[in-house]
Amino acid sequence: MEIIPAIDLRGGRVVRLRQGDYLRETRYANDPLALAQAYADAGARWLHVVDLDGARIGAPMCRDALESLARTGMRVQTGGGVRGEGDVRALFDAGAARVVVGSLAVRAPAMVEAWIAHFGAERIVVALDTRFDGIAWRLPVSGWTQTLAATLRELALQYARAGLRHLLCTDIERDGMLSGPNRLLSAWLARALPSVAVQASGGVRDAADLIGLRKTGAQAAILGRSLLEGGLTLAEALAC
């Protein structure tokens, strides 16, 4: 299982939001590059970069930072504000190895399926942030304030049929909460989508959580707050 540290950028700083709420922000490092280099020096091979300003505005805003982060030696996957093919190309040009597509993947799956075919399945990550409503796993968009008709199951299977290779799934209720990952959700996705590499996100606290996720069949785990607040070191995570 790949361990992928995450850096969420807002106003040039490293921050974390609780359950995606911009009013529940915790600020960390002033220098994202120094943090990224520390992750690289510790042995991370991939870095997950979230452009929170871009996500809010609707256009990628961190291309200059991305160019610097890509020079750390890690491969970078990044998303936030991707709304068209020009955005995808610009992020690749800035050094991204993979582009993460979230809201648009729910709103316009045909467009994103075309990108998977055009750029290659290794270069596009579909991010489906999900919340259980008591009946099904729904897919809120627009800062998790709007819920469309499609369910996680329906859309994930549709993307798998279209050749998707990388699916990033975040349990919204656990995002930034250090409440433990949703292992049942990860296991279900891994079983339902055998051709897709599932990236689990949300809630990881410690090494035991990572060991549990590995047993679900998830092929990557995204680590944010647990690394930033010292509950888990990257060396400990990689040792799992």
The string of pLDDT tens digits covering residues 131-145 is: 999 999 999 886 655
> Which residue has tokens 């469309």?
148
pLDDT digits (tens, 9 = 90+) for 82-110: 999 999 999 999 999 999 999 999 999 99
Q: What would the DSSP string read from start to end of 139-156?
A: EEETTTTEEEEEEHHHHH
pLDDT of res. 139: 94
Active site annotation includes 129: yes
Q: What is the distance between the alpha carbons of residues 167 and 185, in angstroms, rounded to a whole number? A: 13
Q: What is the distance between the alpha carbons of residues 126 and 107, in angstroms, rounded to a whole number? A: 12
Whether the per-residue pLDDT at 15 is higher than 70: the answer is yes
Q: What is the distance between the alpha carbons of residues 108 and 181, in angstroms, rounded to a whole number? A: 28
How large is the C-alpha radius of gyration of the chain? 16
Active site annotation includes 8: yes
Identify the H or E element spanning 182.
Answer: none
Q: Please give the backbone phi and psi of residue 22, each rounded to the nearest 5 degrees, phi first.
A: -65, -20
List 8, 87, 175, 209, catalytic entry: 8
Residue with more model confidence, 231 or 49: 49
Q: What is the distance between the alpha carbons of residues 80 and 22, in angstroms, rounded to a whole number? A: 14
> Which residue has tokens 């510790």?
42
pLDDT digits (tens, 9 = 90+) for 184-211: 999 999 999 999 999 999 999 999 999 9
Residues 194-208 as b or e (16 or more Cβ within 10 Å = b) = eebbbbbbbbbbbbe
Q: What is the mean pLDDT of residues 27-48?
A: 95
If you average pLDDT over every residue of the chain, what do you get?
A: 93
CATH superfamily of 2-239: Aldolase class I (3.20.20.70)
pLDDT of res. 219: 98
pLDDT of res. 18: 80
pTM of the model: 0.94
Q: What is the mean pLDDT of residues 114-140?
A: 96
Residues 46-79 as b or e (16 or more Cβ within 10 Å = b) = bbbbbbbbbbeeebbbbbebbeebbebebebbbb
pLDDT of res. 142: 67
CB 186 within 8 A of CB 212: no
pLDDT tier at 117, thresholds 50, 70, 90: very high
Q: What is the mean pLDDT of residues 113-121?
A: 98
Q: What is the distance between the alpha carbons of residues 93 and 90, in angstroms, rounded to a whole number? A: 5
CB 101 within 8 A of CB 129: no
Q: What is the mean pLDDT of residues 51-64?
A: 91
pLDDT digits (tens, 9 = 90+) for 61-82: 999 999 999 999 999 999 999 9
List 51, 87, 129, 175, catalytic entry: 129
Q: Please give the backbone phi and psi of residue 206, each rounded to the nearest 5 degrees, phi first.
A: -155, -175
Structure tokens at 86: 């020009």
pLDDT of res. 21: 76
Give residues with Cβ within 8 angstroms of 127, minimum separation 6: 79, 100, 101, 102, 105, 167, 168, 169, 170
